[in-house]
Structure 1
Amino acid sequence: MSLGEVFGHEPAVRMLRQSLAEQRLVGAYLFTGPPGVGKTTLALALAAAAACPNPRDDPFDACGACASCRAAASGQHPEITLIQPAGDLTQIWQFWDRDQKPAGALQHTLQYSPVIGCKRVYIIERAETLTLAAANSLLKALEEPPPYVLFVLLAPSPARLLPTVVSRCQVVRLLPVPVETLGAWIEAKAQLDHNMALKVAEFAEGCPGHAFRLAGDSRLRQEMDRILDIAMQLPTATPLSCLRLGDDLRKAAAAIQGMLGLETETGTESITDSSSPEDSAQEPARERAGRRQIAIVIELLAGLYGDLLSLNVGGPAARILHVDRRSQLAEMAARRSTDYWLTSLEALLEARRRVDQNANLPLLVDGLAMRLAVG
C-alpha cells in the first residue's frame, strides 16, 4: 500500500507527503478516527514511504520496487513493527523484556539503525488499550526517539490516551468519508450495483475498512437485509410479537460479528443472554463485541426509519437510502403519522446513545421493539 493508494484522506496524505519531502517528519504521530476509517492503512503506507531509500518525488511516495518496499508490501519488513493488543490490553512486556514473556518489540531494536530501509517504524494499534505501565514506559522514547525511528499510534480519539502520551505526538485526525464518495469507490472497487454500494457506505458510516469488508461478504449483506425485514414488521407488531422480534434482532446482531473483525466465539451470548453484571465485568471483550453489534443493528434501523420519515413528509419521490424497497416503504410510511415516525426515529437515536452508556442489551432491545410498535 502506497500513500497514493490511500482512499478518502487526501488532506492527511498531503500533509504527510510534504513532511516527508521536506524531511520534517516528527518522531511520533497519533492517528485518530473511528474503527475502520483507515488508520492502519495510512500508517502502513507512511511506514513504507518513510523507509524507502529511493522514494518517488512530486508527489512523494514509496518507489514500490526496492527491497524495503517489497518487504513492506509483503508484510514481512523486519524494520516495520505492528504492535497489537495482547488480548484486551497492550502490556509493557510487549515493548520491554519481562521474565517469562516473549522479547519486547523495542528492547532489542530501538537502539539500532535500520539496515534495509531509512526508518525503523513502530505502529501501535489500538493505543487506547495501553496499560498505565506500558504508556508510561513509552514516554521517553516518544519524546526523544532516535532520528531513524518513527512511532505511529492509532486510537479512536486523543481523549482515550494519557495526556502525557498525546502531548508527545502530532495528532492526525481521520474523518469518515462522505457516503456518496465512499459509495462510488465501493461501486468501482467491489463491482456492486449503485444502490447496494450506497447502502454499504451508509451502513459502514463512512468507514472504508468496514465498507470494503461488507462489500466482499455476500452473507453479511444478506444479514443486513434480514435485519431490515425484521424492522419492517415492528410498526404493525402486537406486544407479544414485539418480544419475538426483539429476540430476532439480537440473533441477527450476533450474526454480523464478522463485519467487525471480531472472531470471538462468545459474542453471541453477550447479546442474547441476560448475564449478571459480574459476568459482564469478567468478560469485557465479549461485552464490547456485543455492544458494537447491537449498535450496528440500531444504526441500520435508524437508516430505515429515516427513509420512512422522508417518504411520509416528502411523498413517494423523496430521496431515500433503500431505493430497492421504495414502493413497500412508501406504502408503510403512509399508514402512520409524521409524529409516529419522528418519535420512532428519536427512540432509535436514544437507544444508540444508551448502548454506549452500558445499558443492559437484552432489555434495551426488547424495550426498543416495544417503543417502535407503539410509537
Structure 2
Amino acid sequence: MINLDHGAAPPVDPRVIEVMEPCLREFAGNPSSLHRAGVEARNALEQARGRVSGLIGADPGEIIFTASGTEADNLAVKGIAQASTKRGRHLVVSSIEHHAVLYAARAMERQGFAITEVPADGDGVVQPDQVARAMRDDTVLVSVMCANDETGTIQPVREIAEIARRNGAVMHTDAVAAVGRMPVDVLNLNVDALSLTAKSLNGPPGAGALYVKAGTRLRPQVEGGVQEDGRRGGHENIPAIVGFGRAAELAADELPARIDRLKRLDESLLRGLRDRLPDAAINGHSDLRLPGHLNLWIPEADGESAVLMLDARGVAVSVGSSCAAHAAKPSHVLLALGRTAAEARCSLLITVGPDTEESEVGAALDALSEVVGELRAIAGVTA
C-alpha cells in the first residue's frame, strides 16, 4: 500500500517502537507509586515531558499529557473558558477549526458563553483584522489553529496572538497538523496554550499534549486524580508517552531535513499533477501551506469514490479530516473557503511523509489519473 494519507495515518517510527516495547513487555509501574517501579515510571514520564516541551520551546512544567489532540483542544477551550468567567463569557474561534475546537466552543455556548466564529478568506487564511473586529471587552479566549488540518494553510497566529493579548484574552492554537512539518515555538508564536499530538510526529496514537503557559488559569476536565499536577486526572499511558517523547526528540533533531524532504516531495506532487490533471486546483493557499500537504479540487471526480477506487489500486488518500471521514456532510472547511457542496465532495487530501518515496508519488498519481478518467467517463464527461 502506498500511504499518501500521512495526515490521518502516519506510520510509527521503528525507533519509537523500540523504546515503547520495554514498557509493554516488562512490568511498568504507576508514576504515582513510591516503590522502585513507580519511580522509574515517573522518571520516564518526566523525561518524555522534557522532550516534548523542548520541541516547542516550552518549560516541562507547562506540558499536560492527554490521550489525543482532540482531548487537548477540549481541555484548552473548556478549561480556559470555565476558569475565566469572572472576566467574561465570550470566545472567538475561526470557522475552519478542527471540530474538536468548534464543538468544544459550542458546548460552552450551551453553558452561557457567547461564541463568535471568524471566517477565513478564499485562500483559507484567517485574517488578523477579522479577529480584531470580533473582539469584545468580555472576550476571554481566542482559538485559531496554527495550520489547517485539511488544507494545510498556515495561519498568522503570532499576529492574532498580539490582538488577543492587547485585549486581555488568552490565545490558544491547535498545532496538531503543524508540529513536525514546520518550526513551532510557543515563544515565537506568543501563545498561551497549544495542542499537539504524538501521531503527527510518527509517534503512537493515544498520546497528546497541551502546552499551557505558566500562570494561565485552567479548569480540569477529567476529574478523579491528581496526575499532571492536578490538571488531568487518570493513570498516565506510560508506553505511549514514552513513545511521544522519543518522537519529539527525533523531530527536534531531524526537522530541517524532514522539511527539505517534504518540500521535494511536494514539488514532485505538483509537477505530476500539472502533467496528469491540469484542471485540478489547490484548496487553500497555494504558497502558505504545509509541505507535503495538498488538498485538491478535481472537477467531476467524486472524492469518496476516488478514495475507494484508489484503495483498490493500493493507494491510500483521504477526503479530509480523519475525524470526519465518515460524515455525510461536505467539509465545513472547504465550504468556509467558498467551495460549493458539490465542489467540496470532489476534493481529495494527499499528505506525504518523510519516508514517502518519489517513485510512490509517481505511481500514486498515475493511479489517480486513471481513477479520475474512469469517474468522468461514468459521469459522461469528456476530456
The TM-score normalised by the length of structure 1 is 0.31
Whichever structure has more strand as a proportion of its residues is: 2
Whichever structure has more helix as a proportion of its residues is: 1
The TM-score normalised by the length of structure 2 is 0.31
Higher-RCO chain (CA-CA 8 Å, sequence separation at least 6): 2
